[in-house]
A and B are shown apart, each in its own frame.
Chain A
């Protein structure tokens, strides 16, 4: 946490001009340099200004350009959920989002959940229920779970909901369906579900 606060206080509102990861780019001799795009983002309540190659994903902008390495790159194709962040209140796969398309957006990453050194209730529940082993998927799992609760409060149905016109209780089956975009290779699923149930305030079922 000290490291995170140090980073925020020293780099907030900084303007960075960095190129995108060059791994798949054409050699410079063949392709004239393209203009960068200016992107303003609010991340965990602080403003950031960037000039980015338009190919830069939101995940790479966070990790490689701003040092928010909590969000993880797993599959980099939207299948594992390790890169899940919350944008304008909704969870998304940041690996499939172009940062330039999110100019002006309000982003919450795992680094933004704890307040004043006190864990977010979902983080605390994951610790209490041992909702992880290696921990690589955990930031995405927790961001996903936090958004899940707000979706449920708004009455969103899921494929596990027998009657989609109703707002269902968060049973284990509902949580499993709603968390299916987050893969845990260590298979900590039972404990993840238990942590989410506890924070949701639902009884065991």
Chain B
């Protein structure tokens, strides 16, 4: 691990000012950053420890939603009875990720900002445009079984690894930030992540020193919420494919649907195509399959990960079948 200066932030303003310096980084749970620092994939000159900031509360909002502080641990969010009753999708997604030990440390803000687990991002002997801009992408012709099939570029096919963010995207969560100049902004989570294009090393729209303070969950939408994750082992593994679905039925027809996929793209992949295909359709296997076809129509496999495309369609069908009470 490279040497770094350590600073324990005592207020938000000084934390943002410190983290805006070159080669400075915020650290909270550290479950991803410390690992990457050991491998020298991340080598910050300064760490700004934000864990003592008062951003660890879950609060009710006036309209019946919740505001989850950026420092609320993944465990605390998943154990909160308001989350469990009103946003079971989110509790399920958080509990589907990592292990209890990691969830006890990992934070709401950090989970969203965790880096990809593409094996070539981790292998410092191989080219990776995300790790070393301009060096190339070893995953394109490599072992790309875990990589993305939607929304990526020939410069980077890394998939975003979060489960939590997939559920938050289905819930229309809004990321609330504080900039070093004190200004705040509200970023819909679907707009937080930047497509890789030719700058895959720039992963979000956050500016230097801009701190995630909280995540706003709007009131829960009508309908049954389900998070389903498909992975190589039964627990403690990243998703091959996951689906966050909220399905609202009017009798035997779909009144409203929200569909977000994990494991398929550089961000949680909200599928307007699948949602449009479902609204007004009968809650049947044929309609669910049509939604899957619509969702994956622009998908491209890179060899080892070709299987993700049919797997995503089948996982969507299984999730919707369960949400509709047909299974």
A residues with a Cβ closer than 8 A to B are: 24-26, 31, 34, 37, 53-55, 57, 76-79, 81, 84, 90-93, 96-98, 100-101, 103, 144, 147-148, 151, 154-159, 161, 163-165, 176-178, 180-182
- Considering only residues 141-200 of chain B, those with a C-beta below 8 Å from chain A are none
For the complex, give the distance between the alpha carbons of A181 and B237 in Å: 10
In the complex, how many angstroms separate the beta carbon of B276 from the nearest chain A beta carbon? Answer: 29
Q: Which residue of B lies closest to A88 (CB)?
A: B104
Q: Which of A25, A31, A78, A90 has the most CB of B within 10 A?
A: A78
* Chain A residues within 8 Å of B47, by CB: 54, 98
For the complex, give the distance between the alpha carbons of A55 and B30 in Å: 12
In the complex, how many angstroms separate the beta carbon of B318 from the nearest chain A beta carbon? Answer: 16
- Name which of B79-87, B244-252, B256-264 contacts chain A: B79-87
A81 adjacent to B79 (CB under 8 Å) = no
For the complex, give the distance between the alpha carbons of A91 and B99 in Å: 10
B95 adjacent to A101 (CB under 8 Å) = no
B1 adjacent to A55 (CB under 8 Å) = yes
Task: Tell whether B38 is near chain A: CB-to-CB under 8 Å.
Answer: yes
For the complex, give the distance between the alpha carbons of A47 and B174 in Å: 43
Q: Which of A77, A147, A151 has the most CB of B within 10 A?
A: A77
A157 adjacent to B35 (CB under 8 Å) = no
Task: Tell me how many residues of B have a C-beta within 8 Å of chain A.
Answer: 38
- Name which of B2-10, B55-63, B281-289 contacts chain A: B2-10
* Chain A residues within 8 Å of B31, by CB: 78, 93, 96
List the 7 closest pairs (A to B, CB-CB), nearest first. Answer: A181-B99, A180-B235, A54-B6, A159-B95, A180-B236, A164-B91, A90-B104
In the complex, how many angstroms separate the beta carbon of B84 from the nearest chain A beta carbon? Answer: 5
B51 adjacent to A101 (CB under 8 Å) = yes
* Chain A residues within 8 Å of B27, by CB: 98, 101
With A92-B101, A144-B101, A181-B236 as contacts: A24 and B40 at CB distance below 8 Å: yes
B30 adjacent to A97 (CB under 8 Å) = yes
In the complex, how many angstroms separate the beta carbon of B195 from the nearest chain A beta carbon? Answer: 29
Q: Which of B27, B49, B96, B102 has the most CB of A within 10 A?
A: B102
B38 adjacent to A165 (CB under 8 Å) = no
A90 adjacent to B30 (CB under 8 Å) = no
Task: Tell whether B78 is near chain A: CB-to-CB under 8 Å.
Answer: yes
* Chain B residues within 8 Å of A77, by CB: 35, 38
Q: Which residue of A lies closest to B49 (CB)?
A: A101
B30 adjacent to A98 (CB under 8 Å) = yes
